[in-house]
Copies of this chain bind each other. A is one copy, B any other.
Amino acid sequence: MEFQEVVARRRMVRNYTRKPVDPATLARIVQTGRRSPSAGFSQGQAFVVVTDQGDRRAIAELADEQSYVQAGFDPWISRAPVHIAICVSEEAYRRRYRETDKLVDGREIRWPVPYWWIDAGAALQNILLAAVDAGLAAGFLGTHALPGLKNLLGIPDEYAPIGVVTLGHPAPDRRSGSLERGWRPDSEVIHWGRWNRDPTASGPRPGPRA
């Protein structure tokens, strides 16, 4: 599928048919997750791919799927034929930035931005887009909603799961109430030239407006 169409079609989908995901397609989606950038090529991202029905039901229980169903959603977590836990190791980044070529004034940098989370987000985005490209749909559940996930999947101490992508063939779903908020206006989000510190200081801004 064309890249721009993939981007335009992507949204969180919270219901799937019972049809399983083709193994070769699944492998390609996970590889697309791998094929994302990482600071210093640290490659701290990792993936646990769950297809076993018992494990998927266990994850749905951790997430208290029943509360979604009571709120009018479908049992989208247990129903998704694939769960992908996306994980990242902060220590992998720290190890990399303690190597000679990355030291600044002889020391590990102070990490004003924790790039392990940034890179996990890039991997997540690649997986979400790859799902759409494959004609599938994906949702996401954050770790805060999955107490005990690390233990269930045997994820080592060094790795933090950021959450689980649910993956499957799309079925009609109830959309998140959050979407009713609408998109923020471009003027608040995209700043041409410099941030518009003083909205009363007007005049044409350099560059195009979208």
A140 cross-chain contacts in B, Cβ below 8 A:
37
Docked-complex contact A190 and B49, CB < 8 angstroms: yes
Contacts of A130 in B (CB 8 A): 3, 7
Chain B nearest Cβ from A137, distance in angstroms: 13
Nearest chain B residue, comparing its CB with the CB of A30: B190
Which residue, of A128, A186, A192, has the highest number of chain B Cβ atoms within 10 A? A192
Residues of B within 8 A of A154 (CB): 194-197
* B143 near A112: Cβ-Cβ < 8 Å: yes
Contact residue among B6, B41, B121, B210 (Cβ-Cβ distance under 8 Å from A3): B6
- Category for how many chain A residues contact B: 35 or more
**In contact, B52 and A191 (Cβ under 8 angstroms):** no
Shortest A123–chain B CB gap in Å is 8
Interface residues of A in 1-42 (CB under 8 A from B): 1-4, 6-8, 10, 12, 23-24, 26-28, 30-32, 34-37, 39-41
Contact indicator B31/A210 (Cβ below 8 Å): yes
Provide the bound-state CA to CA distance between A49 and B208, in Å.
10
CA distance A102 to B36 in the complex (A): 30
- Could you say which of B8, B49, B112 contacts A193, with CB atoms under 8 Å apart? B49
Which of B4, B124, B191 is within 8 Å of A47, CB to CB? B191
Q: How far is the CA of A129 from the CA of B122 in the complex (A)?
A: 10
**Could you give 15 example pairs across A and B, Cβ below 8 Å?**
A1-B2, A7-B35, A10-B37, A34-B186, A46-B190, A49-B192, A49-B193, A110-B144, A112-B160, A118-B162, A120-B121, A121-B122, A122-B125, A125-B125, A129-B129
- From B8, B39, B119, B156, give the contact of A197 (CB < 8 A): B156
3 closest A-B pairs (Cβ-Cβ)? Answer: A121-B121, A117-B117, A23-B208
